[in-house]
Amino acid sequence: MSSSELRDYLQNYDGPEIRIMEVCGTHTHEIFRQGIRNFLSPKINLISGPGCPVCVTPASYIDEAIYLALEKNVTITSFGDLIRVPGTSSSLQKARAEGAKVKVVYSPIDGEKYAKEHPDEQVVFLSVGFETTTPSDVIAVRNAIRDGIGNFSILTANKTMPGAYEAMADSTDCYLYPGHVHAIIGTGICKDLQKRGVSGVIAGFTGEELLTALAIAVRKHSEGGPFYVNAYPRVVTDEGSPAAVKLVDEFTRPCDAMWRGIGMIPGSGVELKEEYSSYDARKKFDIPVLEKEYKTACRCGDVLQGKIRPTGCPLFGKACNPDHPVGACMVSDEGACSAFYTYGGSL
């Protein structure tokens, strides 16, 4: 089908109603940017899911980073958007104003390089993300070992998608699986989920690829029964990237992970193996359990689970906007609240 035929099909669809969850924040933003929501049939309900790594990083993780910076005099290196994410009572941006050393870097490898150039500082990289970013976190640790760098470590909050797919299955009729994640992990999990009654389509990132994936989801849903389709075969193969998987397996092991607003999902994270514990900031600095009460009117948890749209949050566009974000979903460029604010209004 051509793009205009796909568009006509999605606009005029009159079959059974379908909820499609865009797991990936990049999909959410691209769907808005391409104006796809504007013409979809009212029978097609797009839900923005938990696939923005910054959005699902829990407040307690930010507290740990602030603790390292203020109590242990550690230099924090991080991607820029994480610095504005609220912890339970502060953020790294505020901690920086109180004297914490917080450096924005563009990759974990830059964090390791900074540590190499500043041997008198203890340097920690904030390691958050999904299967797409964990290999580069591991490479930074591997480089530090290779270079004999003892003043570098990572604070892990790395997550894996399969556990989230399972946890959110009731919120959607079909996942729009993120193509870049499955370029790494392959398609096995999608086939397993189909056997357990969970449907999904692996989608690329161009307008035409998204229209194709949405049209497949709608067509298959109207035919009935659980389904799985790889609509991004030019990049995603069944086996994924065995080299990246092997690299991550060599350095990490699965662990339970806390997702902001969702809670603990068993086995949905990775942490460094015991033999690399001197590069694991949580162990190296013996970070205590920082139990703080987290009171907020932010509804990020409900947004991330597809229970409400960002516009359903009473703070949306009022107390919370990109210049003054109250929650992580408004901070990150990949966050659903940021996407709705930038492109969507009440869509």
Residues that bind ligand SF4 (rule: CB under 6 A) add up to a total of 14
Residue 143, classified by CB atoms within 10 Å of its CB into exposed (0-12), middle (13-18) or buried (19+), is middle
Question: Using an 8 Å Cβ cutoff, are 104 and 83 in contact?
Answer: yes
Please state, as a whole number, how many other Cβ atoms lie within 10 Å of the Cβ of residue 246.
10
Question: Which residues have CB under 8 Å from 292's CB, separation 6+?
Answer: 60, 63, 88, 89
List, edge to edge, every strand of the sheet that includes 228-230.
Answer: 44-51, 18-24, 174-178, 200-203, 228-230
Binder among 320, 334, 339, 344 for ligand SF4 (CB under 6 A): 320
Q: Does 29 bind ligand SF4 (CB under 6 A)?
A: no
**Sole binder of ligand SF4 in the list 310, 332, 334, 339 (CB under 6 A):** 310
| Smallest separation (angstroms) from ligand SF4 to the CB of 323 | 12
Taking the CB of residue 345, how many other CB atoms lie within 10 A of it?
A: 9
105 binds ligand SF4 (CB under 6 A): no
Told to check if 95 binds ligand SF4 by CB under 6 A, we report no
8 A C-beta contact, residue 36 and residue 207: yes
47 binds ligand SF4 (CB under 6 A): no
Min separation Cβ 340 and ligand SF4, Å:
8
Is 262 a binder of ligand SF4 (CB under 6 A)? no
Contact with ligand SF4 (CB under 6 A) among 62, 327, 332, 334: 327
Residues 244 and 181: their CA atoms lie apart, in Å, by: 11
Element spanning 267, H or E: strand 263-272
When the beta carbons of 183 and 298 are compared against ligand SF4, the nearer one is: 298
3-state secondary structure of 65: helix
**Options 231-239, 244-252, 285-293, 298-306: segment touching ligand SF4 (CB under 6 A):** 298-306
Closest to ligand SF4 by CB, 80 vs 226, is: 80
Q: Does the footprint of ligand SF4 cover residue 18 (CB under 6 A)?
A: no
Tokens describing residue 338? 């940021």
Query: Does position 298 bind ligand SF4 by CB under 6 A?
Result: yes
Residue 202 host element (H or E) = strand 200-203
Instruction: Give least dist CB 308 to ligand SF4, A.
Output: 8
Near ligand SF4 by CB under 6 A: residue from 313, 332, 334, 339: 313
Among 21, 40, 329, 339, binds ligand SF4 (CB under 6 A): 329
Which residue of 175, 337, 339, 344 would you call a contact of ligand SF4, by CB under 6 A?
337
Nearer to ligand SF4, 6 or 298 (CB): 298
CB of 249 to ligand SF4, least distance (A): 35
Antiparallel, parallel or unpaired: β 263-272 and 152-159: antiparallel
| Complex with ligand SF4: residue 281 or 315, whichever CB lies closer | 315
- Sign of the dihedral through C-alpha 263, 269, 271, 274: positive
- In the complex with ligand SF4, the residue whose CB is nearer, 236 or 336, is 336
Which of 178, 310 has the CB closer to ligand SF4?
310
Instruction: Determine, following the binding rule CB under 6 A, whether residue 303 of this chain makes contact with ligand SF4.
Output: yes
Q: Which of 38, 36, 40 is nearest to 13 (CA)?
A: 40
Q: How far is the CB of 86 from ligand SF4 (least distance, A)?
A: 9
Out of 326, 332, 339, 344, the residue judged to bind ligand SF4 by CB under 6 A: 326
Find the Cα–Cα–Cα–Cα dihedral 196, 264, 250, 124, rounded to 10°.
150
Q: In what side-by-side order are the strands of the sheet with 102-104?
A: 102-104, 75-78, 123-129, 152-159, 263-272, 252-259
If the CB atoms of residues 259 and 316 are measured against ligand SF4, the closer one turns out to be 316
Interface with ligand SF4 (CB under 6 A): 298-300, 303, 310, 313, 315-316, 320, 326-327, 329-330, 337
